[in-house]
Structure 1
């Protein structure tokens, strides 16, 4: 359903139950989207009809959207995550896309031309970018920055604007690749909470929570004007939006949404009052996200293996775009291809809705480019074949994707290799020598094996098992180890065909969740972690 074709009301009938679903945006009026801490709401301009867009949140602070794709994004600083939902989603089903290495993401912005997501983090003191699904995360700025807050993007020009609350409060601009930084506002500024670009007049507007004011400038920071300075109407302004001749802002102190003339600050009007705690605000309208010059990276991503960004208009580099790599990757001499930084041992961690890895030398972490995870429990890999395997006990399956990243995994491509006759696959292990995959099933009380593609599946053990859980292999010795959570908890050893079983541990054991064989020196990745609540 296209955005312009959205209707006001849809009625669904289930027996005697009628479910009325409000399709919030019919395309006839622009809307104001705003984060109201526990939910995201919208107000239709002119009719001033208020609607709930995303209910049931914990502490939503910042938001943005992708108009042509119909996607809305928001940050939650209590749950420390970034999530997304389709604007036409009648069941309010949302997906967490960033959950690892994220502290307090106060600002977020969507690049609607190159399809990237940007956010600030006040805990990690950096600005990051990713694909819209959270894959291919890259740290753009982590130096010369203290307390990054608001973001605003102009993808047509290839410019990112951001504010800093630190010891030297300021507004900077740079390229969408984080390079060519310029300080454009550094005087008469203290708490630059919100930023917005007026594409019609080509001006930048910002709120200041400490100086009780809204100001604007040209996109290079010149011709600075004070639109309104009044403690009565701006005791603590946060989010800001612009539409036609008005500038809108959220007010923490009075829990309200206000507007005034964007040129001279005349006639302040309260648009909405008695809100829970209004934070960020965005104008939802097609005119906010114009595509004036097209994508300089083109249909083939500029030949880049991972990320492609346009260069800034003032860049001295003789190129229209730059190829960049996600964190943990290096660019090769062709300046297009990214390869994984190697040599160091790493941990691969299953975290329910994501799979990440941590370099044990640098302690740098990054999320693998796999999506659609619901309850990942076990994870393992085949280094030589560049494959990562995981189990999902909610989806009831075993899946595989690429380990090192790249274009295919960046598109979220994965394959279910085991999806039938499987219940609770709590444990899994890969035989990297003979190319087999082993798993336990606590629901069906057995241990099975198959080829890496799920073919030639065989049940190895289905007797004297109560609740099999973790599993580990020693292929060079032909041995398999597994744990049992049953009435008589234990750890057993057998050969890899399931024969010659022998119980090796029965004392001082209750819930044997994880098992690992140490002293494996032939692999770059030395350990696995199993995580489950």
Structure 2
């Protein structure tokens, strides 16, 4: 369905009533797991190309898709493990063992994090890197937890919590467990699905058979998305949008050609062929050919900047010192300025070069007055002489008015 509840349609049928759900936006596929049987499936988002991806142990308690490295990752609460498999169903690997009842997993692959809820004696939010190392406790919460989701725009974690007195709330914090925010919200089920998008938290309400939304900052009364009750109680919800699965190419997070899987990730532009990465523009393969390094264009002779050069990951830009202006070619600095004043506004500078006048980049039109304009040591003294300036691109034409 659309975000306003319209255009509701069935994508895949016969999946059961106990599933976990995620998607891969770039692939255009939806992934789901049957919690009871432990079987993971995938299909195109229009419902075609349905196939069984992988069979795991029974009791899958969380499912997430790493869309950057192309993995499906899941938790097994009873076994206490986190495993992954490629999105083609190959190369199963156990990332973590001996965990305390892991449930409801979520990933932030651009930041190299995996998060999950621990439903042990002391409920908590746990974190590791994408390789299953560097485990840390993000936050301990003395209440039952459920429904972990990530706001990848603000880089915050969202969850639901239930007290022994029956009170419920939606909580959030940053990736390090700081800046905690809790908004009271009457939730009827701990086993609910949740997804964050823009300013809203979307969650399933099994009792009313609806998808509801609430403001992620202020909370308040939740609104139903679908006006008609669903045929079956909703168990999971995902907002499918590229903002929820961003791809960042600028910074390599670790050697990006995985020696075990041969998969190129992050800054590599194409899948690996025989373990060789191809890097995106602005990056070059390392000496050993196993990851991509930023090219420092400012260290080369052909960057084209007349004065200053600032390198950034994957690119660069030209700069000018104080007293100089960057010309429209975005490379050349020039220091000749004429001081002009707009009517009823503060003074501003207008660039003069070879008797051609140039506007500031954000200027479209203005009325100016000559004020002791100095050009090549020749002084013009015609205060109050109005000139209408019309910008044509960056070069302007002056007409007396």
Match of 2:237 in 1: 281
Residues in 1 aligned to 2:140 and 2:258: alpha-carbon distance in whole angstroms: 38
Match of 2:141 in 1: 187
User: Do structure 1's residue 124 and structure 2's residue 64 form an aligned pair?
Assistant: no
Which runs of structure 2 are paired with 1:283-432 in the superposition (5 Å)?
283-293=239-249, 296=252, 302=257, 304-306=259-261
Cα deviation code 1:346-388 (max 9, x no counterpart): xxxxxxxxxxxxxxxxxxxxxxxxxxxxxxxxxxxxxxxxxxx
Question: Structure 2: which 5+ runs fail to align?
Answer: 267-287, 291-401
Cα deviation code 1:428-478 (max 9, x no counterpart): xxxxxxxxxxxxxxxxxxxxxxxxxxxxxxxxxxxxxxxxxxxxxxxxxxx
Match of 2:92 in 1: 137
Match of 1:104 in 2: 59
Deviation at 1:167, TM superposition (A): 1.9
2:19 equivalent among 52, 61, 69: 61
Match of 1:271 in 2: 225
User: Do structure 1's residue 207 and structure 2's residue 165 form an aligned pair?
Assistant: no
Cα deviation code 1:28-55 (max 9, x no counterpart): xxxxxxxxxxxxxxx2113533111111
Match of 2:50 in 1: 94
SS at match of 1:287: helix
CA RMSD of aligned residues (A): 2.7
Residues in 2 aligned to 1:303 and 1:98: alpha-carbon distance in whole angstroms: 21
Residues in 2 aligned to 1:76 and 1:201: alpha-carbon distance in whole angstroms: 31
What number of residue pairs does the alignment pair up?
Answer: 263
8 Å CA contact 1:136–1:307 kept in 2: the answer is no
Which runs of structure 2 are paired with 1:473-488 in the superposition (5 Å)?
none
Compare relative contact order (CA 8 Å, sep 6+) and give the higher one, 1 or 2.
1
8 Å CA contact 1:212–1:229 kept in 2: the answer is yes
Give the TM-score, by structure 1 length: 0.46
Deviation at 1:286, TM superposition (A): 1.1
Higher Cα Rg: structure 1 or 2?
Answer: 2
SS at match of 2:11: strand
Cα deviation code 1:171-222 (max 9, x no counterpart): 11110111101111112431x2211111222211112355522110111111
SS at match of 2:221: coil
Give the TM-score, by structure 2 length: 0.60
Match of 2:122 in 1: 168
Residues in 2 aligned to 1:271 and 1:108: alpha-carbon distance in whole angstroms: 24
Residues in 2 aligned to 1:214 and 1:309: alpha-carbon distance in whole angstroms: 37
Which runs of structure 2 are paired with 1:428-507 in the superposition (5 Å)?
none
Residues in 2 aligned to 1:121 and 1:307: alpha-carbon distance in whole angstroms: 26
8 Å CA contact 2:146–2:190 kept in 1: the answer is no
2:151 equivalent among 195, 198, 222: 198
Are residues 97 and 209 of structure 1, via their aligned partners in 2, closer, same or farther at CA, if it must alter by over 3 Å? farther
Deviation at 1:104, TM superposition (A): 1.4
Question: Structure 1: which 5+ runs fail to align?
Answer: 1-42, 312-333, 337-533
Are residues 307 and 154 of structure 1, via their aligned partners in 2, closer, same or farther at CA, if it must alter by over 3 Å? farther
